[in-house]
Amino acid sequence: MYPAPFKYHRARSVTEAIGMLSDIGEGARVMAGGQSLLPLLKMRFDEPTDIVDIGRIPDLSEINENGSEVNIGALATHRQIAASPLAGALAIVSDCANGIADNQVRSRGTIGGSVASGDPSCDWPALLHTLDAEIECQGPEGTRTLDINGFVEDLYQTALRPGEIVTAIHFQRPVSGSGGAYCAFKRCAPAFPTVAVGAQLSLSDGSVTSARIALGSAGLTPIRARQAEAELEGSPLGTESIAKAAEAAVAEAEPIDDQRGSTEYKNRLIAHLTEKAIRIAEQRASGQQVYNSHEYY
């Protein structure tokens, strides 16, 4: 189906985009890579009056590091991130970027669009919870930086205010002795995950000093599995603590029955993927190079 008619505007700068959004008001939608927005328009689930295309704003796709701070521009595509030195250095970022859909979607879809869509099936929001990321936004009232925790407030609903756009993602590069892994289970490459689990661990003298566990496609928003983290922190990793963390992650998940699987099926996958992500994160924290890829039916 064709989308309902809309006016198309191409913004040349963030300031111009914000101005356009304010002038047009409620009927305007931002478009970055269009990989989530265009399917919605084609199915007529949304009928905006105007599209503000931010996809060609210069300098919004840079990926750089300033000391220990990692900065990713909102327009960085999944493919650019997968090919960046950052993904070479942080295996969990590589796991996520390389596992999203297929080449076509990875070449157009952006990290900013993934975060701003509020779609619980998108991989970046869950992944960014494991890195305590911050989301930089600009709008008519200026710039603000929001914690990824709570940024996605509900299904397809974020903390963005009217006229605001996501401009960058920031997080601290994990300290040495840290490792992470992002594991998903999918029907096929160009499909969203049935469920996904990210784990980021820091270890010292064999004990876990910090743990982040986040679940994707496991509820109406990305879920930070804090009880699972508590099962790991302060003790050495072992079969028992990992099993308890997996059990806690299942208890914190809120999957729904849908075409991707039943609640029971998804809970079993969450337990499996939590254990797998923790094991790989542990190996990577000890300096091992571990290949990781999503699992498919």
Tell me which residues touch ligand FAD (CB under 6 A): 29-37, 39, 54, 74, 100-101, 105, 108-110, 112-114, 116-117, 122-123, 160, 165-166, 190, 192-193
Least CB distance to ligand FAD at residue 35 (A):
3
Least CB distance to ligand FAD at residue 137 (A):
7
Least CB distance to ligand FAD at residue 32 (A):
3
Question: Shortest Cβ contact with ligand FAD: which residue?
Answer: 109
Least CB distance to ligand FAD at residue 251 (A):
25
Q: Which is nearer to ligand FAD, 1 or 287 (CB)?
A: 1
- Report yes or no: 40 and 29 within 8 Å, Cβ to Cβ: no
Residues 6+ apart with CB under 8 A from 297: 186, 187, 188
> ∠ CA(239), CA(240), CA(246), 5° rounding?
90
Q: Which is nearer to ligand FAD, 30 or 280 (CB)?
A: 30
Least CB distance to ligand FAD at residue 176 (A):
29
Least CB distance to ligand FAD at residue 282 (A):
25
Q: Give the CA count within 13 Å in the CB-facing half-sphere of 52.
A: 25
Q: Which is nearer to ligand FAD, 157 or 235 (CB)?
A: 157
Least CB distance to ligand FAD at residue 286 (A):
29
Q: Which is nearer to ligand FAD, 42 or 204 (CB)?
A: 42
Closest to 217 in 3D by CA, of 100, 112, 136: 100
- Report yes or no: 265 and 244 within 8 Å, Cβ to Cβ: no
- What region does 86 belong to: left with phi over 0, alpha with psi -120 to 50, or beta? alpha
Q: Which is nearer to ligand FAD, 151 or 171 (CB)?
A: 151
Q: Which is nearer to ligand FAD, 47 or 240 (CB)?
A: 47
Q: Which is nearer to ligand FAD, 32 or 277 (CB)?
A: 32
**Cα Rg for the chain, rounded, in angstroms?**
19
Least CB distance to ligand FAD at residue 209 (A):
29
Q: Which is nearer to ligand FAD, 33 or 179 (CB)?
A: 33
Closest to 250 in 3D by CA, of 231, 268, 265, 232: 268
Residues 11 and 259: their CA atoms lie apart, in Å, by: 38
Residues 6+ apart with CB under 8 A from 146: 134, 135, 137, 159
Burial class (CB in 10 A: 0-12, 13-18, 19+), 2: exposed
Closest to 39 in 3D by CA, of 5, 7, 67, 2: 2
